Amino acid sequence: MIFLNLLLIHMLNAAAEKTALDGYCDAASETCNNEITPNEDHKLIFYDVNPPEGFNLRRDVYMRFAIMLAEAQKRGKTDWRLVLTPWNKLYHWKNNDKPVPWRSFFDVESLKSYAPVLELSEVVDESAKPIDIDTLYVLQNFDNPFENGVFEEKWQLVPKEECDKNYDNISAKEVICVRFQGKISKLWELINLHPNDKKVMFMHGEIPLHDNYGTKAYWDCRKSMKFNKTLVKKAKKFIKEKLGCDEEKCNNYIAIHWRRLDFATSRPNDVPSIDGTVKQIKDAFEKMPGIKKIFISTDASASEVKILKSKLKEAGFKVYVYDPSASDLEKYNDGGIAIIDQIICSHAAHFIGTHESTFTFRIQEEREILGFDSSTTFNRLCPDVGACDPPSIWKIIN
């Protein structure tokens, strides 16, 4: 799989990682030195995610593993560390091809305050030899997860010839292929098959489920996923200068996540047309007559954005989008630009998202952390015709 090539002798082009980090460590306000460091006694868990999965689903997969490690620590299992393998080019990323370290997007010190995590650069330096994984577990789904009408937590070892073969770029002493369904904590049963292992890896890390989605542990982990300070500063500058708000909870603009690129074709019954979008935005503004500013985050084509903005301006609204400069794209890349969009949406007086979009889910979570009323957060764009089920409401637990 392309997401992580652990065999590169120079650790995924260490020079590229250093370049990606330039400008992200501010000695006056934060440190690049990490309190959690590896040693020879530590055991390491690596994981990979199915390449087509996007950035925001991958964030959720990280949480599953982080909670698994944090909960194990509470039970005295303190020798394991989770390795934050770099981000490679994803489906929505058009402008960067180099691997990007986690601290380009997130405050890694905050991540470490919740779970024992390490950047790959803390495990492998520029002169290190390739990492040899002791056991590589290649996970795959059961053919029928609801056999006999019941979803049963289970795993089953299968012959290698029945397994996903996309692991040729990983050096492992042993490869074990496993059909798996159930909670992520059940992975410890697999790890315990080889108690002397010090480096294990799971392919298809998206297959194991949360132990308890929406619990206090979930929200504690989610709150630790603070964004990189430079990205936060950039977003708040836009909010202040363009939208005229200098507060954590703004009251003078609404935000829309208008998912188009793939949803317009793959989910036509879940998303509205351009005219349908305009109508729903107008309806939302009628409930907030004192607000005229709207921020739009979208992956729509330039032509669609132009039409939408024109129709909204004709209706009397002031429309804003974050249009990154060439230097912004070079400095923050596509992932950072998307985070800036999410931050701007998170601080709006009212938010309307796209049904079943993980980009929308992450904004809703940010708004819960900020303390917005649920009625201003859990809203969705509806199709022009047909049913429109309201979004699920996942309230924060502190």
In a domain, 270, yes or no: yes
Q: Give whole-number Cα distances, 396 to 51, 106, 112, 365, in Å.
A: 30, 20, 21, 8
45 with 146, same domain: the answer is yes
pTM (predicted TM-score): 0.88
- The bridge status of strand 80-84 relative to strand 43-47 is parallel
Q: For residues 177 and 148, which has the higher predicted lDDT (pLDDT)?
A: 177
Confidence of residue 180 (pLDDT cuts 50, 70, 90): very high
CATH of the domain at 307: 3.40.50.11350
206 with 253, same domain: the answer is no
**Number of structural domains found in the chain:** 2
pLDDT surpasses 60 at 20: no
350 with 290, same domain: the answer is yes
Q: What is the pLDDT of residues 98-134, one digit of tens each?
A: 889 999 999 999 999 999 999 998 888 644 567 889 9
53 with 78, same domain: the answer is yes
The residue annotated as part of the active site, out of 17, 35, 40, 53, is 53
In a domain, 140, yes or no: yes
Instruction: Return the bridge partners of 282, or none.
Output: none
213 with 314, same domain: the answer is no
Q: In what order do the strands lie in the sheet with 133-140?
A: 117-119, 80-84, 43-47, 199-203, 133-140, 172-181, 154-158
Q: What are phi and psi of 45, to 5 degrees?
A: -115, 125
Which residues touch 168 (CB under 8 Å, ≥6 apart)? none
**Of 196, 221, 246, at which residue does a domain stop?**
221
In a domain, 398, yes or no: no
- The bridge status of strand 117-119 relative to strand 80-84 is parallel
In a domain, 264, yes or no: yes
277 with 297, same domain: the answer is yes
210 with 265, same domain: the answer is no
CA atoms of 122 and 252, how far apart (whole Å): 44
Residues of the domain holding 372:
228-376
In a domain, 393, yes or no: no
210 with 240, same domain: the answer is no
182 with 233, same domain: the answer is no
Mean pLDDT score of the chain: 87
In a domain, 4, yes or no: no
- 126 in catalytic set: no
**Of 221, 248, 272, at which residue does a domain stop?**
221
CATH of the domain at 49: 3.40.50.11340
**Of 221, 253, 276, at which residue does a domain stop?**
221
Q: What is the pLDDT of residues 183-231, one digit of tens each?
A: 999 999 999 999 999 999 999 999 999 998 999 999 999 999 999 999 9
Instruction: Among 54-58, 189-193, 214-218, 295-299, name the one with the lowest average pLDDT.
Output: 54-58
In a domain, 387, yes or no: no
262 with 354, same domain: the answer is yes
266 with 214, same domain: the answer is no
In a domain, 385, yes or no: no
122 with 47, same domain: the answer is yes
